[in-house]
Amino acid sequence: MIDKYIKKIFEKTEIIEEKKLSGEIADILKMNLEFLFNYIENFGKIVFVVTDKDLNIKHANKAFLKMINLDDVQDKNFKIFLPPYVKYISIPEDGKAEKVIIHLKCRRPDVNITLSGYVLAQKEVLLFFLEKRNFNYHELYEKISDLNNEIAKLLRENQKKDYLIEKLKNEINETMRKDQLTGAYNRIYLKEVTERELAKVKRYKVPLSIVLVDIENFKLINQNYGRTTGDKILKQYANLLMEYTRIVDMVFRYEEDNFLLLLPNTNIEGAKIVAKKIENITNTTLFENGISINVKTATVECKEDDSLESLIDRSYMLLKGI
């Protein structure tokens, strides 16, 4: 009987013919059972478990303990280490052995392992010799599926974070480009945009015009009604300018009481129409506390050799009637 199990213990990948080991080798092994047991107990990869007929564990070697990540399993039932879907283990008659395939719950990694081997019934005990550590592919598939779902969730969360970060950056940039009081774009951004638009004028020969809007006698409003009222009127007027210009047009606060409209793809005739409309709307609108204001406008079309400074200079000269 021992010949058969000695052969099974040392069988790995080679196919061994169904024949007994030579008498000489068998005798040597029989005389060195202590060495063989020590090998199985401490060094081999074969799982060796001894239980009673109710599957209460009486002994287990290091290979089994390592697999389930426990130091001791004395008197624990073998079934607690099996997945829930395993209902029973085939138990052979006394003195006989049967081939078994056992799915073992494994804590490292968190995937069940399939073990195959033999169980030998001897008097009141069962001896399990198990090997061929393979993954249970059904459990492995579920684990991979869970990991893929987790990865997809993390990717979605990262995409959401990236979107929020990008949105926040855009909001910060937009805030830095705008005048805090009126919400119109500021002079710093005016320089950046004008340089870009002037480059288009030179390269593509498209027209570009500006309208400089001056609120007349605005200092008197601050003196007569207070700075707070004056600030509210400036904010209301900036909103009016943004409401009555095109989406592609841009409204800038250039100085305290001066606004500048940048009109892409607009020649001088079109810019004068916009300026006249702004003047008419302003003259018919009442602002904070029913206050009315008057504005003067200057309209300039860009030349290929223009800069922001030259455009502003020309605009102020027109306002002053020079």
> pLDDT (tens digit, 9 = 90+) per residue, 295-315?
999 999 999 899 999 999 999
Q: What b-and-e string marks burial along 21-43, b requiring 16 or more CB atoms within 10 Å of the CB?
A: beeeeeeebeeeeeebeeebeee
Q: Which residue, among 73, 41, 37, 42, has the nearest Cα to 58 in the 3D structure?
A: 73
| pLDDT value for 21 | 47
The hierarchical CATH code for the domain 179-319 is: 3.30.70.270
Q: How far apart are the first and last CA of the chain?
A: 121
**pLDDT tens readout for residues 162-220:** 888 888 888 888 888 999 999 999 999 999 999 999 999 999 999 999 999 999 999 99
List the structure tokens of 249.
């047009």
User: Measured between alpha carbons, how far is 214 from 98 in angstroms, rounded to an integer?
Assistant: 102
| pLDDT value for 142 | 67
Residue pair 78/107 in contact by the 8 Å Cβ criterion: no
The hierarchical CATH code for the domain 2-135 is: 3.30.450.20
User: Measured between alpha carbons, how far is 31 from 11 in angstroms, rounded to an integer?
Assistant: 20
Residue 152, pLDDT above cutoff 60: yes
E runs forming strands in 15-96? 47-52, 57-60
The chain-wide mean pLDDT, for the chain, equals 84
**pLDDT band at residue 141 under the 50/70/90 scheme:** low
Paired strand residues for 231: none
Residue 13, pLDDT above cutoff 50: no
In the block, residue with structure tokens 């904070």: 288
Q: What percent of the chain has pLDDT over 90?
A: 46
Residue 77, pLDDT above cutoff 70: yes
